[in-house]
């Protein structure tokens, strides 16, 4: 995921996104975004990010 973060931060278009500008990027495993039992782990990760202020509400 480090290469993807580097791309997001350096690309002329994506570096202007609010989440990138304010370092509110939430890293999720690809399996956590697919329908299935691991989806709940992804939801927990997102919930924790919102609760900690890492993600904009």
Print the domain residue range for 20.
2-52
Tokens, residue 33: 């975004």
Phi, psi of 30, rounded to the nearest 5 degrees: -55, -35
User: Is residue 57 a part of any domain in this protein?
Assistant: no
For residues 15 and 23, give the distance between their C-alpha atoms in angstroms, rounded to a whole number.
10
User: Is residue 47 a part of any domain in this protein?
Assistant: yes
- Chain centroid to Cα 14, Å, comes to 13
Q: Is the pTM of this model over 0.85?
A: no
Structural domains counted in the chain: 1
Q: What is the CA radius of gyration of the chain?
A: 13
Residue-level pLDDT, tens digit, the chain, 57 residues: 899 999 999 999 999 999 999 988 888 887 777 788 888 888 898 899 888 877 765
User: Is residue 15 a part of any domain in this protein?
Assistant: yes
User: Is residue 43 a part of any domain in this protein?
Assistant: yes
Residue with tokens 């202007």: 16
* CA-based nearest residue to 26, from 3, 47, 10: 47
């Amino acid at each position: 995921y480090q290469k993807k973060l580097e791309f997001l931060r350096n690309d002329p278009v994506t570096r202007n996104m609010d989440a990138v500008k304010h370092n509110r990027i939430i890293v999720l495993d690809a399996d956590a975004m697919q329908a299935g039992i691991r989806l709940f782990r992804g939801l927990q990760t997102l919930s924790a990010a919102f609760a900690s202020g890492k993600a904009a509400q």
